[in-house]
Structure 1
C-alpha cells in the first residue's frame, strides 16, 4: 500500500489537483465577473440608445388619412429603429395626451380653457446607427419638410451626453479587458509552472531512460486540459449561482442579460482555461526538458 501511494505521487503528470483547479477557477471567475460587467453595460447602453426618440408634432385639423400618410412616410425611413422588422413609432393623439396630463396632475385644463391646445404627436425611435449629433440634425430637418408636420423636437443635450459617455465607457472597458486578460493569463501560467516544478526531476529521469518528448508531454498536457476544462465549468457555475442570487435581490437584472450571451461567456471561460492551461504546460515542460541538471537544482 505504501509502495503504491509512493508510486502515485511520482506518477508522470500527477501534479496537485486541488490547488491548481482552485487557482485557475478563481482567475476565470474574476474574468467572468468582468465579462458580465461588459455584457450588462453594453445591453444597458443599447437599451438607452433604442429609446432615444424624436417627437413629430403635427399641424392641427389634419384628416385621418393625412396622419396615416405621414406615419407611413416615417415608417419607410432607414433611421427609424426597427424590432423584428416593425418600425418603432407611435401616434399619440391630442385627446390621449390630455387624458395623460389630467391623470398625472389632477387638473382638467381642457375644461378650464374650453379647448384642447395640444397637438397630435408621432414619437419616432431613432436607430443607434443614426444617433450622431449631425445625423439627428439632418433627420430633424428632413422630417420638418414633410407636409403636415408642425415641429420636430428632441433633447439635444441628452443625446450629446449619451454619445459622449458611450465612447468613454467603451474605451475604459477595452482597456480593462486587455489588462485583466493579461493578468489572468499570467496568473494561470505561473500557477501551472509552480505545480510542474515538483515534476522537474521526474521529467529528467524519463529523458535519461530514453523517453521521447511527446511521450513525456502527453500526460501533462492531458491533465492540464482536464484542469482547464474543470476550472472553466466551476467558474461558469459560480457565475450562474451569483447571477441567480443578484437577480433575486435586484429586480430586472436578468432582463439586461441574454441567454446566448451567457452561453458565449461560459464557452469563453472554458476555452481560455483549456488553451492557457495547455500552452502554459507545454511551455513549462519544454523549459524543464532543456535545462541542465545544475539548473534543475
Structure 2
C-alpha cells in the first residue's frame, strides 16, 4: 500500500509541474488582456482630458476675471484653469496657423481674452458639457461672450470609445471563458494521475475532508506559484512596452496595475482550488473499475 502511494506521488509530480506552467501561461494571457483594457481606458481618458474649453470674455475688469477663474477652479469638473490674455491668444493662434497676415494689416490684436480649462474625462460628453456651459453662463453670463469646445470631436470620440468598448467587452468575455476552461482542464489533467491515490485513501476509511485537505493546500500553493510566474512575465512585458513607448508610462495607473496583479492571484488560486476539489469529489464517487 505504501509503495503504491509512493508510486502515485512520483507519477503526480511531473503533472503538477506541467499544470503550474500551463496555468501560468493562461494567467499571463489573462494579464495581457487586463493590461490592454487598463491602457485602453487610460488612453481614452487622456484624449478626453486634452479637449480645451474656452470661455471668451466680454469684460476686461481684472477683479471680475479673477472671480470667474476662481469659480471655475473650484468646480469638480475643471482642471488646469488658465487665463489667456491677448498675447497668449496670439501665440496659441500662431501654433495652429500663422497670424502674420492679419498682423501686417491690423494695428491691434483682434483676438479676445478667455479663460480656458480642460474638463475631467467623466464630464467629456455632450450632455455633461452642455450642462456645464449652462451653469457657467447662468453664473457669469453678463461677463462671458461665448463658451466653445470642439463639439464634433467630443461626439466622435465618445461614439468610437463606446463602439470599441463594446467590441472589447465581447472579446474579453470570450477570452475569460477560455481562460477558465483552460485552467480547469489543466488542473483536472494533473489530478487524473492521483485518482488511484484518492480512491485508495477512501477505501482505507479516510474522510473526504482528510483526503481533500492536502490536495487543496497543494492547489493553493500551485495557484500562487502560477500567478507569481504570470505576474513576473507580465511585469517584464510592461517594462519593455513602456521602454518602447514612453507615453504608456505616463498614463499608467499603479493602483489599477496592482489590482490587476491581485486579480491574477485570486483567479489562479480560486480556479485551481475549485477544480481540485471538484476532481477529488468526482473520483471519490467513481467505482474502482471506472478509474481504469
Q: 1:153 aligns with which of 148, 156, 159?
A: 148
CA drift at 1:40? 0.4
Q: Distance in 1 between matches of 2:210 and 2:132?
A: 68
Match of 1:261 in 2: 256
Q: Deviations over 1:175-197 (max 9, x none)?
A: 23322222111111111111111
Match of 2:158 in 1: 163
CA drift at 1:58? 1.3
Q: Deviations over 1:204-262 (max 9, x none)?
A: 12222212212211221111111100000000000001111111111222122122222
Match of 2:109 in 1: 116
The unaligned stretches of length 5 or more in structure 2 are none
Instruction: From the superposition, tell whether residues 253 and 127 of structure 1 become closer, same or farther in structure 2 (CA, over 3 Å).
Output: closer
Q: Distance in 2 between matches of 1:56 and 1:75?
A: 13
Match of 2:119 in 1: 126
CA drift at 1:118? 0.8
Q: Distance in 2 between matches of 1:248 and 1:128?
A: 26
Q: 1:65 aligns with which of 63, 66, 74?
A: 63
Q: When you count helix as a share of all residues, which structure comes out higher?
A: 2
CA drift at 1:77? 4.0
Alignment of 1:25-40 (within 5 A): 25-40=24-39
Is the Cα contact below 8 Å between 2:11 and 2:193 reproduced in 1?
A: no
Is the Cα contact below 8 Å between 1:10 and 1:202 reproduced in 2?
A: yes
Is the Cα contact below 8 Å between 1:52 and 1:125 reproduced in 2?
A: yes
SS in 2 for 1:252: helix
Q: Distance in 2 between matches of 1:131 and 1:252?
A: 22
Alignment of 1:122-201 (within 5 A): 122-144=115-137, 146-201=141-196
Is the Cα contact below 8 Å between 2:21 and 2:226 reproduced in 1?
A: yes
Is the Cα contact below 8 Å between 1:14 and 1:220 reproduced in 2?
A: no
Instruction: From the superposition, tell whether residues 287 and 121 of structure 1 become closer, same or farther in structure 2 (CA, over 3 Å).
Output: same
Q: Distance in 2 between matches of 1:172 and 1:264?
A: 23
Root-mean-square deviation (Å): 2.5
Using structure 1 for the length normalisation, give the TM-score: 0.87
Is the Cα contact below 8 Å between 2:12 and 2:190 reproduced in 1?
A: no
Using structure 2 for the length normalisation, give the TM-score: 0.89
Q: Distance in 2 between matches of 1:247 and 1:92?
A: 35
Is the Cα contact below 8 Å between 2:5 and 2:197 reproduced in 1?
A: no
Q: Distance in 2 between matches of 1:280 and 1:267?
A: 20
